[in-house]
């Protein structure tokens, strides 16, 4: 019995097609058919009931499928753990970061860290929080640094930095007083949110009674958000630690009591590598120092 035979069997069972299974593995349909026939011969049992128009798993085939599915799950976990160990030895960290925090917050710290630890290699994937959590779930990365992403059953969370939320109003509203602007938030003012999975921002929208119809979108790219606030009559809800080059825009940090967090996430069945723990500690130190001396 070969692993390839089992892969073909799983693909045929799940795709319900010998043709699609063959396409998945870039082989001919007869190659898949012959592999399944050899597997049935070796097991001395039929796995599929075939007819001209369709086929299905036999009772024996269903039992075999359920157990082989568990085998492949264990194989994938083993391969993931093996990759994890190899990366540890190579001093490699695969890290996902939310786009809005990358350019002005995390990457500058990463540059300093790389100079201090030249043998360390950090492979960064910049994406939305939702995609970062998908990568974490599928073992595409060891850890993710995100803003207030939704809690997960498969990930641990450690807070690196926290700050009050703030509302930034576009240049058009620079002469308005904050009381008037807060009132407009509950009426007709378009509002943009930062990133796609920040729970704190959802809490702010609820606390400030901002109508859902006023939410124009969730912007992951910081420069895009800045251009919108420079050109549109709108507001944006962002974490207080988010660096934005909008000196003329009015900021309201007292409109909400909601605290935003920058969190580190990693898989529950994995221990953080020494490199990841080291980078997280370094990043926390840099961010707290910047907040203390320079502000965000």
pLDDT tens digits, 45-96:
888 887 766 778 888 888 988 888 888 777 776 776 666 566 555 578 888 9
Q: Which CATH number fits domain 3-73: 3.40.50.280, 1.20.140.10, 1.10.10.10, 1.10.287.180?
A: 1.10.10.10
DSSP characters for 169-224? Answer: E-GGGTTS-HHHHHHHHTTT--EEEESS--HHHHHHHHHTT--GGGEEEEE--HHH
In the predicted model, is pLDDT for residue 149 greater than 70? no
pLDDT tens string 264-276: 888 877 778 888 8
Q: What percent of the chain is modeled with pLDDT above 90?
A: 0
209 or 144, greater pLDDT: 144
Mean confidence (pLDDT) of the chain: 80
Does pLDDT of 234 surpass 60? yes
With a cut of 60, say whether residue 202 has pLDDT above it. Answer: yes
Rank 37-41, 204-208, 213-217 by mean pLDDT and report only the highest. Answer: 37-41
Q: Judging by DSSP bridges, how do beta strands 191-194 and 121-127 pair with one another?
A: unpaired
Q: What are the φ and ψ backbone dihedral angles of 39, each rounded to 5 degrees?
A: -65, -45
**Model pLDDT, residue 295:** 44
For the chain, give every domain's residue range.
3-73, 86-160+262-293, 161-260
Closest by Cα among 204, 184, 186 to 194: 204
Spatial neighbors of 266 by CB under 8 A, at least 6 apart, are 136, 142, 143, 144, 155, 156, 272, 276
* Superfamily of chain region 161-260: Periplasmic binding protein-like II (3.40.190.10)
Structure tokens at 265: 């996430």
Does 3-73 match 86-160+262-293 in CATH topology?
A: no
CA geometry: angle 71, 72, 76, nearest 5 deg: 120
Distance CA 264, CA 95 (A): 10
Check pLDDT > 50 for residue 296. no
Distance of CA 119 to the CA centre of its chain: 27
> What pLDDT band is residue 152 in, cutting at 50, 70 and 90?
low
Q: How many CB atoms lie within 10 A of CB 245?
A: 10
- Among residues of the chain, what percentage have pLDDT more than 70? 85
Nearest in space to 69 (alpha carbons), one of 131, 14, 32: 14
pTM above 0.75, yes or no: no
- Per-residue pLDDT at 256: 60
CATH class of domain segment(s) 86-160+262-293: alpha beta
Band of the pLDDT at 292, cuts 50, 70, 90?
very low
Does residue 12 carry a pLDDT above 50?
yes
DSSP state of 99: H
How do strand 215-219 and strand 121-127 relate by DSSP bridges? Answer: unpaired
Whether the Cβ atoms of residue 170 and residue 249 lie closer than 8 Å to each other: yes
| Residue 81: per-residue pLDDT | 64
- Give the residues across from 131 on adjacent strands: none
């Amino acid at each position: 019995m070969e692993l390839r035979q089992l892969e073909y069997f799983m693909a045929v069972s799940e795709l319900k097609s010998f043709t699609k299974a063959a396409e998945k593995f870039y082989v001919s349909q007869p190659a898949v058919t012959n592999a399944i026939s050899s597997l049935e011969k070796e097991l001395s049992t039929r796995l599929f009931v075939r007819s001209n128009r369709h086929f299905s798993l036999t009772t024996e085939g269903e039992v075999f499928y359920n157990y082989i599915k568990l085998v492949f799950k264990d194989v994938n976990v083993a391969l993931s753990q093996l990759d994890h160990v190899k990366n540890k030895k190579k001093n490699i960290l695969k890290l996902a970061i939310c786009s809005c925090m990358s350019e002005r917050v995390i990457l500058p710290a990463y540059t300093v860290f790389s100079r201090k630890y030249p043998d360390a290699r950090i492979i960064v994937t910049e994406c939305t929080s939702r995609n970062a959590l998908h990568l974490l779930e599928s073992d595409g990365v060891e850890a993710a640094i995100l803003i207030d992403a939704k809690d997960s059953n498969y990930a641990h969370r450690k807070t690196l930095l926290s700050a009050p939320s703030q509302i930034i109003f576009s240049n058009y509203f620079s002469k308005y007083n904050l009381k008037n602007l807060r009132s407009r938030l509950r009426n007709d003012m378009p509002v943009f949110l930062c990133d796609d999975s920040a729970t704190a921002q959802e809490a702010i929208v609820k606390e400030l009674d901002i109508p859902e119809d006023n939410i124009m979108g969730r912007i992951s790219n910081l420069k895009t958000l800045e251009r919108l606030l420079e050109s549109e009559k709108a507001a944006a809800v962002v974490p207080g630690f988010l660096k934005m080059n909008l000196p003329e825009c009015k900021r309201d940090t007292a409109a909400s009591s909601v605290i935003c967090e920058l969190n580190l996430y990693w898989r529950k069945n994995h221990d953080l590598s020494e490199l990841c723990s080291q980078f997280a500690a370094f990043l926390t130190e840099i961010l707290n120092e910047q907040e203390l001396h320079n502000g965000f």
